[in-house]
Amino acid sequence: MELIQVIKKAGGQLCDSFLTEGLILEKEITVGCPTRMENCKIMVANTPMDYDKIKIYAIKAKVDSIDTMAELEAAEKEKMSDKVDKILAYQPTVFINR
C-alpha cells in the first residue's frame, strides 16, 4: 500500500478515479503527434535543448572580434549536436524534456 501514490486533480467526479500500473505523465501533445502509444521506449530528460546560451541566459562573454564570437556560437552548436546524437543513439520512441 505504501507504494501507491494518490494524485488528486481538481474537477471530475469520484467515479473518474482509476488505479493504474506504471507512471502517469501529464503532458500536452503537440499538433500532429499521436495521443496514444503502446510498447514505446520513453526517454525523460532534464537537460536544456537550446544551444544559444549567450542569448537565452544573457551570459556575458568578452571577445576580441566577431570571429571569436562566431567560434563561440559554433562550439555551442557542436555541443548541442553531440547531445542530440547521444539521445538518438538510445532510439527513443517518445522524448519528454523539461
pLDDT digits (tens, 9 = 90+) for 56-91: 555 666 777 888 878 878 888 888 889 899 999 999
Write the DSSP string, 33-82. Answer: S-S--SS--EEEE-S-----HHHHS------SSHHHHHHHHHHHHHHHHH
pLDDT at 47: 82
Instruction: Please indicate, yes or no, whether the overall pTM of this predicted structure exceeds 0.85.
Output: no
Domain range summary for the chain, segments of one domain joined by +: 30-97
